[in-house]
C-alpha cells in the first residue's frame, strides 16, 4: 500500500562552465523509481509523471576570471501528499543539451508511514 510522504526539500548546486554562463538553460527535475521509470501521480489533468521544468541562467560575476565556473543553487520544496510504495527513489535534475544527469538525490520510502530518508 502506498505511503503518503510528508514534505521534504531538495537542494543541489549546478556548476556551470564559463562558456555556458549568460545563457538560458532548460532544467527538468523528475522523480524516478529505482528502475529509472518516472513516478506517475494523478493530478487535475489525470495521471502525469512527477516532474518540474524551469529555465535558469547563471550570470558572470563582475571581475570574474575568464574560464571560471559559476556555481548556481537549485532548491525545491515538495509539499506532502505524493503516494509512494516502499522502495528506493531518486530526484534527477537534467539540463537540456547535456547527456549526463546534472544532479541526483536518492531516498528510501519505508513501510509504516515514515518520512522519506536520504540514501547515500
Predicted confidence (pLDDT) per residue in 12-28, tens digit: 888 888 888 999 999 99
Task: Please list, in sequence order, all residues whose beta carbon lies within 8 angstroms of the beta carbon of residue 47, skipping any fewer than 6 positions away.
Answer: 40, 41
pLDDT digits (tens, 9 = 90+) for 102-118: 778 888 888 765 555 56
Low-confidence ranges of the chain (pLDDT < 50): none
Amino acid 89: pLDDT: 93
How do 83-84 and 70-78 pair as beta strands? unpaired
Q: Please provide residue 18's backbone torsions phi and psi, each rounded to the nearest 5 degrees.
A: -50, -45
Amino acid 120: pLDDT: 58
Task: Please list, in sequence order, all residues whose beta carbon lies within 8 angstroms of the beta carbon of residue 118, skipping any fewer than 6 positions away.
Answer: 105, 106, 107
**36 SS3 class:** coil
CATH of 3-118, one of 3.40.50, 2.60.40, 3.40.720, 2.30.30: 2.60.40
Q: Global pTM?
A: 0.74
Amino acid 117: pLDDT: 55
Amino acid at each position: 500500500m502506498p505511503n503518503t510522504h510528508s514534505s521534504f526539500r531538495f537542494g543541489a548546486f549546478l556548476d556551470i562552465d564559463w562558456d555556458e554562463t549568460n545563457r538560458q538553460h532548460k532544467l527538468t527535475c523528475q522523480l524516478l523509481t529505482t528502475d529509472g521509470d518516472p513516478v506517475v501521480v494523478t493530478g487535475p489533468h489525470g495521471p502525469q509523471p512527477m516532474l518540474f521544468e524551469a529555465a535558469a541562467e547563471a550570470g558572470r560575476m563582475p571581475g570574474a576570471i575568464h574560464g571560471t565556473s559559476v556555481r548556481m543553487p537549485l532548491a525545491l520544496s515538495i509539499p506532502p501528499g505524493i503516494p509512494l510504495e516502499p522502495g528506493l527513489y531518486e530526484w534527477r535534475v537534467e539540463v537540456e543539451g547535456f547527456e549526463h544527469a546534472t544532479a541526483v538525490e536518492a531516498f528510501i520510502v519505508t513501510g509504516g508511514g515514515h518520512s522519506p530518508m536520504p540514501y547515500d
